[in-house]
Structure 1
Amino acid sequence: MIDSGNCYKPRLLMAKLGIPFTRIEVSSHTGETRKADYVAKNPNAMVPLIELDDGRRIAESNAILLYLAEGTRFLPADRYERALAYQWLFFEQYSHEPYIAVRKALLTFP
C-alpha cells in the first residue's frame, strides 16, 4: 500500500540493504486485504506482508524490520543496544503511529 508508512518502513530498509524485492500493491481502502486469497496469506488482513523466497510470510512492519535487520548494522549485536532498538520500534508503533498516522488517515480517507 503505497501511502502506508508501515509499508514504507520495510521498503526503505530493503533499499538501504540492497535487497531486491517486488512490491505488490494491496490496499485496505479498496477491500483487497479482506479478500480470501489475501486473508489466506495473512489472517490479520492487514499490510504490510513480506513473502520470503521459500514461501514463508511475515506480517507486521516492525517484525519485518527485525527480520531484515538481523546481522546488519541496523540491528545492534549488543544485547542492551538491541533492546534500545526494540524500545524505539515499540514506541513508534504504539505511541507515534496511532497519534500521527491514524490522524493523517482519518483526514485523508473519508
Structure 2
Amino acid sequence: MKIYGDRISGNCLKVKWVCDLLALPYAWIDVDVVKGETRSADFLALNPWGQVPTVVFDDGRTLAQSNAIIRYLARDSHLIPADAFTAAQMDGWLFWEQYSHEPYIAVRRFHLTYLGKPADALDPKLETRGYAALDIMERRLSEARHLAGDALSLADIALLAYTRLAHEGGFDLTRYDGIRRWIAQSEAELRLAPAH
C-alpha cells in the first residue's frame, strides 16, 4: 500500500497513525501541498479531486478522503466500536470533524503557519467557528475520556490530528482542561510525541 501524503496535514497523519497502530505496512510518498504537487497531471490521474491523502492499494485501487480511508483500514479492528450505535456515534464525529472542525481550525492554521498570513487578514469566522468547535468538544470531554464510547476510536484519531495543533492556528487551549487531558491521553495511546 502506498500513502500519498503531506506530513504537515492532519488529514494525512490520521492515515499514518491508523496504519502504525494497527501495524499495517505501507510506503509513504511525500506530496508537497504548498508547492502544488497535488495539481500535477500524475497526481490528478490518481485522485481527480487533487487532495491528499490518497492511498493506492497493492491491487491498484485508490481511495481518497481521510475519514473514508481510516474507516476502511480500521474495519474489523478495535478502533471501530463493536456496538452499532456507538459506531454510529463515532461516524457522527467523523462527519462533524470534516464539516465543523477542520474547515476552521485546520484552515486557520494553514493560513497562519504555512502561508504566513497575518491574523487580521483572515476571515474572523475561522476563529469564531473554530472556538465553537472546541467548545463542543470540551463539553463532551469534560465528562468522558473518549469522544465515542469508552475506548480510543477513529473519532479520537480524526479529531486529534488538528486539535493537538490548534495553537498553530492561534487557538488558546489553556481554558480547555478536558481537551488538553484528552490530547495527552490520545497521544500516549497512539505512542506519539507530544505536540509543541
**Shorter chain as normaliser: what TM range?**
over 0.9
Q: In structure 1, list runs of 5 or more residues that go unmatched.
A: none
Q: CA RMSD for the aligned pairs?
A: 0.9
Determine helix, strand or coil for the equivalent of 1:24.
Answer: strand
Q: Distance in 1 between matches of 2:113 and 2:9?
A: 12
Trace 1:17-96 onto structure 2 (pairs within 5 A): 17-96=22-101
Q: Distance in 2 between matches of 1:7 and 1:102?
A: 15
1:100 corresponding residue in structure 2:
105
Deviations 1:48-77 (A, max 9, x none): 001111110100000001001110011123
The higher radius of gyration belongs to 2
Q: Distance in 1 between matches of 2:109 and 2:16?
A: 20
Q: Distance in 2 between matches of 1:59 and 1:91?
A: 18
TM-score (norm 2): 0.55
Instruction: Report how far residue 26 of structure 1 moved.
Output: 0.6
Deviations 1:5-53 (A, max 9, x none): 0000010010000011111001221111111110000000010001111
Determine helix, strand or coil for the equivalent of 2:29.
Answer: coil
Residue identity opposite 2:71 in structure 1:
L
Q: In structure 2, list runs of 5 or more residues that go unmatched.
A: 1-5, 116-196
* Count of residues in correspondence between the two structures: 110
TM-score (norm 1): 0.95
Poorly superposed stretches of 4+, deviation over 6 Å = none
**2:8 maps to which of 3, 7, 16:** 3
Instruction: Report how far residue 98 of structure 1 moved.
Output: 1.2
Q: Percent identity?
A: 48
